Each structure stands twice: as structure tokens, then as C-alpha cells.
A and B are shown apart, each in its own frame.
Chain A
Amino acid sequence: MTDRGGVVAAATGVEALTTEEPVGRPTGWWGMVMFVATEATLFACLLGSYFYLRFQHGPSWPPEGIDKPKLLIPLVMTGVLVPSSLPVVWAEHGIRRGQPWRLRAGLAATLVMGLSFMALLVIEYQDDLQHFTMTTNVYGSLFYVITGFHGLHVSVGLMMIGWLLAASLRGGSFGSHRHERVRNAAIYWHFVDTVWVAILFTIYLSPRL
């Protein structure tokens, strides 16, 4: 972007540097929180539909011919995804103190954990697809659409993390005065993690109750 009318000069003056460190919550924070709220409602609708269809379906759930979901891989997935929020928190705290190396290291760790989650999801699907698919019956439809939709969200979150990592490796992007984007992406990533727990309970644990 070109510098029109001394925007940079205005933003680098003594007054700006002392007041730029966001006073109060920035607009971006509110925007991301509202976005996460609407996304969370979307997941609530999906999980609500799951229980509605399940209880309207009749006594046997999963329907005849499909085994109850196996737990090993999903539990490993949980073990990989949920702690992946910690490096993000650590990275965010680091950049707030003006330590880009912590930002980079934390993001890289989260990226690896998120990618492992996606790899595990693929392995899980390969196993499931031998028994039932999205078109087998409504159980299959719910199973693949809900987990797939969450996988999509993890992918979006990974793109954000990768994007942050690229921007921070270039340099000149984030520091103790400029970390709004890091904070917003972190909020999204925490959301993706939290939703997974609800999905674990709904898709994998509730049919075994």
C-alpha cells in the first residue's frame, strides 16, 4: 500500500507508538468472536440434527449392520488436537513481548499437530469407508458430514496458522504493538479445538452409551 498523507508518519510518532498498543478490544477481536459465535451455532445445529435424527430413528443406533464406532484413533486424534492450542497460546504471549522466535516456534508446533490430526482423520476414514459410506443410511450421512465439516474447519485453521507463520518468517509483520491477526487466528484455532470435543462426545462416545 502506498503511503498517502503521512499515515506511516502519523503511526510512527511518539504519540502513536505509546498509544498504538491496542487500548481496549480491537474491532478485529469482536469481529472474530462474532464469527466464531455464528460458526458455533452452525455446529450446534449439526449436532442437534444428529440427536434429533438419532432419537427419531428407533432403538438401534448405529443402524443394523454398522458396528459401534471404534475409539482408539479418535482418542489419539483428541490427544493431538486439543493440546495443539497450547503452543498457540505460548506463541501469542511471546509476540506480545516482542519475541518473534516464540511466535514462529509455537506456530510451527501447532502446524505439525494439526497436520497429524488431519492425517489421522484420513486413516480413520479409510477404515470406516470399508464398512459404510455417506450414502449407506442417515447414520453414515451424519458421520461423514459432521466429521468432514469439522475437518474442513481444521484445514481452514491450518491455513490461518500457515499464513501467520509465513508472514512472521518474512519479518516486519508482528511485534508487541502489532499482533491482532495472531490473536484472531488463535481464537479461531481454540474454537476448532473445542468443537472437536463436542464432536467426539456426539459421534464417537454417545452411540456407546
Chain B
Amino acid sequence: MSTTLSTPPGIGREDLARLAEHWDEPRSLRAWFTTVDHKKIGRRYLVTAAFFFVLAGLSALVMRTQLARPESGVLSPQEYNQLFTMHGTAMIFLFATPMLFGFGNFLVPLMIGSRDMAFPRLNAFGYWVFLFAGLFMWASLPFGAAPNNGWFAYAPLNQDQHNPGLHMDVYALGLLFLGISTTSGAINFIVTALKLRAPGMSLNRVPLFVWAIVATAFMVVFALPALNTDNALLFLDRRFDTHFFDPGGGGNVLLWQHLFWIFGHPDVYIIVMPGLGIVSAVLPAFTRRGVVGYPLIVLAIVAISIVSFGVWVHHMFATGLPQLSYSFFSAASTIITIPSGIQIFAWLATMMLGRLVLRAPLLFVIGFIVTFVLGGFTGAMFALTAFDQQVTDSYFVVAHFHYVLLGGALFPILAGIYFWLPKITGRMYHEGLGRWAFWLVFTGMHVTFFPMHLYGLFGMPRRVYTYRSDLGWDVGNLISSIGSYVLALGLLLVLIGVVHAIRRGRPAGPDPWEGDSLEWSAASPPEAYNFPVIPCVHSLHPTWDERTVESTTTGATKDRILSEGKRTLFTSELDARPERAAPMPEPSFKPLVLAGVLLVFFTALLLGAYPVAVAAVLAVAATIAAWLWPPRRPDEEIGIAS
């Protein structure tokens, strides 16, 4: 908690006291379990996703240790299978998306000038489900029952007769469980961005980061059902002897791949898009100007989120589909590089036209551009069917997608951590530590993954637990393993930097970077109610804009202070005209209870305790019914005709 602010002009002491009374949550164990504050939930998302990142990263280090030398025996093949599957699955589903959702949770209400998300309790529920689903999946590893089929879990290897045990049941159920969290979070982002923007923030004044989060959320809404269908059918095949992926019963193994990649390719952008949004949010503060080509970037974001649904077959160029479909998807995959390219050139132009302030966040942004462009370059190569068929399932692919994902998600995430740490914690990080971390991460990343292009081209297949020494892959693998330790060291320095900032950092003040978006006009860390006065937005860079600033000080009006009750302002979807002040919910145990009951449900399904699962479903229905039960009000108030 920050110390009490001096009263800004335009808002009285009584108003501040009333806001604090309605919004502040006590510091108690009960409050910890019942909170609906988007900032606390956002922080939890960040910390929990970072924890899963550490687990998935350690899995990768163990694998690199195994692969450092030919025919080494650090891991058995079975252990290796589980580790590489958990590494991929956790990095994609338990780290990248939730981490970016964590940023979104913390930042979207602050950036749009709201006091919370549209559905605060649903937000809390989404976090608990994410936590439980992550623990559900990782808990299988000590039992030797972790998923072992690769993160995309191809049929027929995922079928019971080829892969007995609980491994792929954990995968199917864990991802279905997690999907509840991702979907509810996505819907929450969309509605928040549509209805809760500060007055005056019409669509052409919405920060690029928020555009990116909303586009991501739309992709989640339309892509995740394909993965959920896939996993539900897989579980039915494994447990209840249906035949969806079983050619013996008339099913088809390629159905798995189609559904998986109809989800999977949009998912690449679900991961990368918020990262690109972070870049667009970081750049103005370190180039001292707005991002060049705002409308073009918005159009690029929207175009990518639509076209990404039409390129999935480029993951299946080696499956023997008709030639015509290859041509179509090859063309679509080539087209999607255009909007991505527009964004890259817009950022380069911003840096060229602006005055660079070379601090750690900007270093990571530059690292992002270099790495992501290299990954995009090999990506354009894969769009060509002939080349793809040549290198499919080799380490070249591993190199490509690590360039894209570390470049497109990890570097922006690290930039975001350094950039918003002062806002989240109220403390400044140590710049020297940040720079060291950047150079170690950047060097480690390229030393690890660049050689993979080469030994991939020399024929090393992915997903092998070891290799013979006469194949000429020894040196490359050793270099990669050394690089991975450097990368890990750099990431350790990031962690040390964060802990150091929280413990020893100097107070940051509300706006250490002189940033342009609204979160920099709130306190650091923000008050429970975010803004004493909800601003009236007059431009795309509200914190740089005097009229917007004035609207929260001398120009403050009662309808934007809203100190009577726990309320925030709803505005119209396109033009953000004020509609009404709406009450926001109080803290509640119900989100935690509902997530807990769902955990019981999925665990019961996994262990085959179906009566328990049925009981859990009834408990879920009862909890939701109680959650939404309307409070009883007098007839005049609800409007009953007499």
C-alpha cells in the first residue's frame, strides 16, 4: 500500500476517504482468498505463470544436459518423453498465455481508465482455475504419469492401445480444465474493453496494448473450442472406447491434427500478439513519441487475428493432403507475413524518428525485433511446401519456433517486467542488473538456438532422447547446451533483479518513465480504486495531454469521482459516451469454491471415480446458482407494475 496521497485539486478529502472505504480490502487471510481486485489477481497470474516457467525451464535444462553429449544417460527415454512434453505444454499453456493475461489483468483496467474488470469475480475464478489446472498437470510428473506424447499429442500415438497409463488423460483433462480459465479470461477482456473505457476513449484512442489483448481474446473465443473438442474426443476415445481417431472403427487420425492446428495456429498469435502489444506500449516511453502508424498497426492486429485462422494446414504439409490445399495454405501463410511486417516497420520508424532512451526495457524490445525477425524469416521459408517437407520434424523446426516464441513472447514479457515493475511494486529496478540480464539472455538465446538450424539441416530429428556420435551433431549440441546455461543465468538475474527491486529498490513515483498511457497517471502501486477521478480522455496519449490531465484535477466532476458505493463507469462500445455508473461486486469465496469443485471433478474423471465426478457436477451447478441468485429488492425498485 502506498502512503496517502496529497489531495489532488478537484477532489475532496471526504471523497478519497469514501473511495478507500468502499474499495480497500483488509489485509487478512480471508481477504487473500476472496479478493476480486484485478491488480492482485494480475500479480498472482504473473507470479504463478513465472513459477510454471521455472519448472518448464528446468525441464529444458535437464534435457539440454542429456543432449550435451552423444549417448549420455542422464535421462531414460521415458523420462525424456515426459520432460519434453511437459516443457512444451507448460511453456505454451501455463506460462506464455497466462503471463500475458497477467499483464492484461493488471494493465487493461488501468490503461482504459476503469476501476476494475467487467466481471471481477469471474476474474478471480479464472485465476484459481489456472492455478489448479497447472498444479493438476505438473503433479503428474512425480508419479511418472506426465503427458509423454509431445505438446501436440498426435494420434494415433495418443490412443490408449499405443500409450497406456494416465499420461494422455492428464493432458486431455488438464487442458480442458485450463480452457475454462482461458475462455472466461478472454470474455472478460473483451467486455471490459468494450464497456468500461473512460469517457472519451473512442476506439481510435484505445492503447495498442489493449487492442492486442482484445484481438487475442477474440482468437481465444473462436480457436479454443477446437482444442477443447479435440481433447474431449480424445478422452472419450481413451476411456469410453469411441472411435474418433481410431481407423479400426472408421475414425481418422488426421482429424486430431486438423482440430489441433485449427486451434494451434491462432494460438501462435494468441501467444505473440500480446507480446507485440507490449512492444507498442513500451516504445513511446523510450522514443519520446507515439508509435508511428497507429491505424495501420490496429489494422494489422485485426488482419492477423482473422488470417491466422486460415493457415493451419502449413503444420500438416507432410501429411499427404491434396496438392491444391497445400497451394492455398501456402499462399495464406505467405500473406500473413504482410501485417506482421507492417508492425515491424512501424516500430523501426518509431525508433528512427524518436529520441532513444536506452534503458533495459528498450534493450529487450530491440532484442525482440532482432530475434523475432529471424524467426519470421525461417517462418516464411516454411510457408513454401517443398522446403517444409524437407526439414519437417528436424531441429530446424525447433530452432524456428524458439526464435518466434522467445522472440515474440519472452523478450516482450521481460521488457514488460522491467517497464511495469515500478507501477506494480512502486519500486525501481537496478539498471545495471537489468542490462547484464539482457545481454546474458540475448547471448544465451542465440547460442542455444542458432546452432539448431544447422544440425537440423544436417538431419537431426527432434524429440530424440539421444544420438550417436558419428553423425556430426556433437559440437552443435554441446554449444546449444552451453548456451542454455547462459540463458538460464540471464533469467536468474531477471529474478534477482525483481526481488532486489521489491526489497531494496528506490520508490518509483507514479510516472518514472513519463509514459503516455493512463496507467502512468495512477499511483504506484495504484490505489484499490485505481483512479480517484476517472479521467475524460481527449487523445491517444492521455498522460501527455493537458486536457485529459485537467479532467482529473481542476476539471473533476462528481459523475467521474463516484465515491458513493463501489462503482465504476460504463460507456458506449464505440465512442465511449458515458452511460451509467454501475456497482461492482464485493469480495467473495464463491470463485475459489467453484474452482475447487471443478478440480474435484477433473481429478475424479482422471482417476475413474465417476460417481464423485457426477456429485461434483451437481456441486458446480449449485455453486453457480447461488453465485448468480438475484438479491431480493422491493417491488418499486425492480419495477413491478401494480
A: which residues have CB within 8 A of B? 1, 4-7, 10-12, 17, 19-27, 30-31, 34-35, 37-39, 41-42, 44-46, 49, 52-53, 56-57, 63, 97-100, 134-142, 145, 159, 163, 167, 170-178, 181
Contact present for B630 and A167 (CB under 8 Å): yes
- B550 within 8 A of partner (CB): no
Contact present for B251 and A53 (CB under 8 Å): yes
Chain B residues with Cβ below 8 Å from A178 are 630, 633, 637-639
Min Cβ gap A142→B in Å is 8
Stretch at the interface among B47-55, B131-139, B218-226: B218-226
Contact present for B630 and A138 (CB under 8 Å): no
In the complex with contacts A141-B236, A170-B632, A175-B225 CB distance below 8 A? no
In the complex with contacts A53-B252, A176-B641, A37-B222 CB distance below 8 A? yes
Chain A residues with Cβ below 8 Å from B565 are 4-7, 10-11
- B521 within 8 A of partner (CB): no
Query: What is the 8 Å Cβ interface bit string for chain B, positions 601-642, against chain A (1 contact, 0 not)?
Result: 000000000000000000001000100111111111111110
- B153 within 8 A of partner (CB): no
Contact present for A30 and B255 (CB under 8 Å): no
Across the interface, name the chain B residue whose C-beta is closest to A53.
Answer: B252
Contact present for A134 and B242 (CB under 8 Å): yes
Chain B residues with Cβ below 8 Å from A46 are 229
A44→B222 CA distance, assembly (Å): 10
Contact present for A172 and B638 (CB under 8 Å): yes
Min Cβ gap B515→A in Å is 28
Chain B residues with Cβ below 8 Å from A49 are 229, 233, 244, 255, 259
Q: Which of B122, B225, B236, B638 contacts A41 (CB 8 A)?
A: B225
Contact present for B243 and A172 (CB under 8 Å): no
Across the interface, name the chain B residue whose C-beta is closest to A184.
Answer: B628
Q: Report B222-255 residues with CB < 8 Å from chain A CB.
A: 222, 224-226, 228-229, 233, 236, 240-244, 246, 249-252, 254-255
A24→B578 CA distance, assembly (Å): 10
Chain B residues with Cβ below 8 Å from A170 are 632
Chain A residues with Cβ below 8 Å from B258 are 52
Q: Which of A20, A35, A42, A167 contacts B229 (CB 8 A)?
A: A42
- B431 within 8 A of partner (CB): no
Contact present for B190 and A30 (CB under 8 Å): yes
Min Cβ gap A17→B in Å is 7
Chain B residues with Cβ below 8 Å from A10 are 564-565, 567
Chain B residues with Cβ below 8 Å from A172 are 632-635, 638
A39→B236 CA distance, assembly (Å): 19
Min Cβ gap B327→A in Å is 20
In the complex with contacts A45-B229, A45-B259, A167-B629, A138-B249 CB distance below 8 A? yes
A19→B639 CA distance, assembly (Å): 12
Contact present for A145 and B191 (CB under 8 Å): no
- B504 within 8 A of partner (CB): no
Chain B residues with Cβ below 8 Å from A141 are 236, 242-244, 249, 251
Across the interface, name the chain B residue whose C-beta is closest to A32.
Answer: B187
Chain B residues with Cβ below 8 Å from A52 are 252, 255, 258
Across the interface, name the chain A residue whose C-beta is closest to B122.
Answer: A31
- B22 within 8 A of partner (CB): yes
- B79 within 8 A of partner (CB): no
A100→B641 CA distance, assembly (Å): 9
A59→B628 CA distance, assembly (Å): 50
In the complex with contacts A98-B640, A138-B250, A24-B572 CB distance below 8 A? yes
Contact present for B635 and A134 (CB under 8 Å): no
A170→B638 CA distance, assembly (Å): 14
